[in-house]
Amino acid sequence: MDKPMSMKTLRWLSWSLALPVATLLATAAIMSIPPNTQGIDIVAGQELFTTHCASCHFVKVGFPAHLGPNLHDIGKSGATRQPNQSAAEYILESIVEPAAFMAPSGRPGMPPDVAAQLDPEDIRKIVGFLASRGAFPDFDEIIKLEIPDRRTEPTEPTLIRFQDMKLAEQVLRDKGSCLKCHSLYSVPEGKSFAPGLFGVGLNDAKAIYESLINPDHEIKPQYQSVKVMLESGELVSGQLISQSDAELVICTRDDQNQLVLREIALAEIEKEDGLPQIRQSKISLMPTGFDKTLTREEIDALINLIRQLN
């Protein structure tokens, strides 16, 4: 027959059971204490993120990248992106200067004017919310971040109608054939012979109209054309893509007015003082005459679409 437990044994057993229970209760109590966020309202930050960012970014584990990367652990992974930069600093830079750095898994195209829509303190709240994804942030650091005020003077809103956007897309893809040269993204995966249309600052209606009607008025350096006279007497002009000690590659138009890449040996080019003559051209590769081939309604729709992309 088993002997009954002594009082000493019972007390020892009680203490051995009470200790882990007390530890568990203390841990739960500590975890229930709201973190000191230095006054940063991360709930409001989440609401602001949902309004301004969630159309492109998810913040849930297991969701695929959408138009932008999933940010569920950006509070942890953001600290590994650039040397000597914390996650909060990286998140802030991504909002106010989205072109400053691109994550290896990212893609171009984040609008450059996100900060122009937000009060600096609202940006701080978004930073606080995102910095808490995957890590416990240093709210002291976040409260001290210098956030520039990028807000612009409010302008009269542009009326955007679905039929106008559909018409503009038809012009881009078909009637104007714009996407044969332009990309919708600022840094496309493939070769682009003209500036991208998304997130490159094309938001001035007058400037967009001028570039459509008079493309020779202003040509960005990277799209500057050149012309070379061959020994055969043929004049070739177009965008200089690359040049080596043996040849150069020019993007030019063929007999069907289609853009093609043409390789030209330096030995084939007329020379002056023994050097092949490659001269700058003030003529853009972009065709003229859109004011005659497109209706004013089509031009206005195209301008509005480009402004929305930027």
More confident residue, 104 or 172: 172
Position 32 scores a pLDDT of 43
| Cα gap 13→6, rounded to integer Å | 11
pLDDT tens digits, one per residue of 219-264: 776 677 788 888 888 888 877 878 888 888 888 877 777 778 888 8
Q: What is the mean pLDDT of residues 261-280?
A: 85
**9-23, 29-43, 292-306: the lowest-pLDDT one:** 9-23
Position 28 scores a pLDDT of 47
pLDDT tens digits, one per residue of 275-291: 888 887 777 777 788 88
More confident residue, 183 or 229: 229
Contact 272, 195 (CB under 8 A): no
What rounded mean pLDDT belongs to the chain? 78
Q: By three-state DSSP, how is residue 240 classified?
A: strand
| Cα gap 192→286, rounded to integer Å | 13
| Cα gap 31→195, rounded to integer Å | 52
Q: ∠ CA(80), CA(85), CA(89), 5° rounding?
A: 110
CATH architecture for residues 42-144: Sandwich (2.60)
Give the burial class of 14: count Cβ atoms within 10 A of its Cβ; 0-12 exposed, 13-18 middle, 19 or more buried.
Answer: exposed
Position 252 scores a pLDDT of 82
Position 253 scores a pLDDT of 77
pLDDT tens digits, one per residue of 103-145: 666 566 677 777 888 899 999 999 999 999 999 889 999 999 9
Strand 278-281: give its sheet, edge to edge: 259-265, 247-253, 235-243, 225-229, 278-281
Residues 6+ away with beta carbon under 8 Å from 186:
99, 108, 109, 196, 198, 199, 200
Band of residue 153 on the pLDDT scale cut at 50, 70, 90: low
Domain 221-281 has CATH 1.25.40.10: no
Position 29 scores a pLDDT of 44
What tokens were used for 195? 């500036």
Report the topology of domain 162-215+288-309: Cytochrome Bc1 Complex; Chain D, domain 2 (1.10.760)
Q: Is this structure's pTM higher than 0.95?
A: no
Q: What is the mean pLDDT of residues 3-28?
A: 57
Position 13 scores a pLDDT of 54
Position 231 scores a pLDDT of 85
Q: ∠ CA(272), CA(277), CA(283), 5° rounding?
A: 145
More confident residue, 128 or 10: 128
Band of residue 25 on the pLDDT scale cut at 50, 70, 90: low
Domain-by-domain residue ranges, the chain? 42-144, 162-215+288-309, 221-281
